[in-house]
């Protein structure tokens, strides 16, 4: 035998492939969790925004005796006059959906100012506050609704 022969140490190709595969799986799971956390965060903002508009509508009703009249529409166009620019400002800026390109907030008042409905679409389909009864009444893709108290 050759006395200068030394055993070389290192990783085999199979070991490297296994480690790379495990890292890829962990990255994929992490990305999925991050995307889901973003959806939940946007849904929480939607709920808070609609509660804020609900508070402004209740203040408007307390002063005027009725809710702003409109059949239905995007809140930024429907409620801008009565809530944000009337002699008394009930809300400084009407909120807009965090994902403006896909979703909107809707206001529906079909009974002449007695009741109202604020609608939005939640991205997390497993959300416990999801309301299947909202249907297509508020802009087509509604699954979360806030009614007047």
pLDDT the model gives residue 128: 84
Helix (H) or strand (E) holding 20: helix 13-64
The structure tokens listed for 70 are: 């409109």
Query: 15 vs 108, which has greater pLDDT?
Result: 15
- Model pLDDT for residues 13-47, shown as the tens digit of each residue: 999 999 999 999 999 999 999 989 999 999 999 99
d(CA 62, CA 128): 31
pLDDT-based confidence at residue 145 (cuts at 50, 70, 90): confident
- Model pLDDT for residues 52-85, shown as the tens digit of each residue: 999 999 999 998 888 888 766 788 878 888 887 7
pLDDT the model gives residue 148: 83
Three-state DSSP at 32 gives helix
In sequence order, the 6+-apart residues with CB closer than 8 A to the CB of 108 are: 70, 71, 72, 116, 117, 118, 119, 137, 138
- Dihedral angle of Cα 110, 93, 124, 122, to the nearest 10 degrees: 10
Q: What is the mean pLDDT of the chain?
A: 84
In sequence order, the 6+-apart residues with CB closer than 8 A to the CB of 148 are: 54, 57, 58, 61, 67, 115, 116, 117
For the chain, what percent of residues have pLDDT higher than 90? 29
In order of their start, the domains of the chain are 14-147 (3.30.700)
pLDDT the model gives residue 137: 53
d(CA 107, CA 148): 11
Is the pLDDT score of 127 beyond 90? no
pLDDT the model gives residue 25: 96
Helix (H) or strand (E) holding 72: strand 70-74
């Amino acid at each position: 035998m050759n006395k200068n022969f030394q055993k070389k140490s290192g990783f085999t190709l199979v070991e490297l492939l296994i480690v790379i595969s495990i890292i890829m799986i962990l990255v994929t799971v992490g990305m999925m969790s991050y995307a889901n956390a973003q959806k939940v965060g946007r849904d929480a903002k939607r709920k808070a925004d609609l509660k804020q508009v609900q508070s402004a509508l209740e203040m408007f009703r307390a002063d005027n005796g009725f809710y702003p009249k409109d059949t239905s529409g995007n809140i930024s166009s429907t409620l801008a006059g009565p809530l944000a620019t009337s002699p008394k400002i009930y809300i400084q800026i009407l909120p807009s959906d965090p994902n403006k390109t896909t979703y909107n907030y809707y206001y529906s008042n079909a009974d002449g100012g007695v009741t109202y409905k604020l609608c939005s679409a939640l991205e997390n389909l497993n959300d416990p506050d999801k309301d299947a009864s909202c249907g297509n009444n508020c802009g087509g893709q509604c699954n979360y609704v806030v009614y007047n108290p």
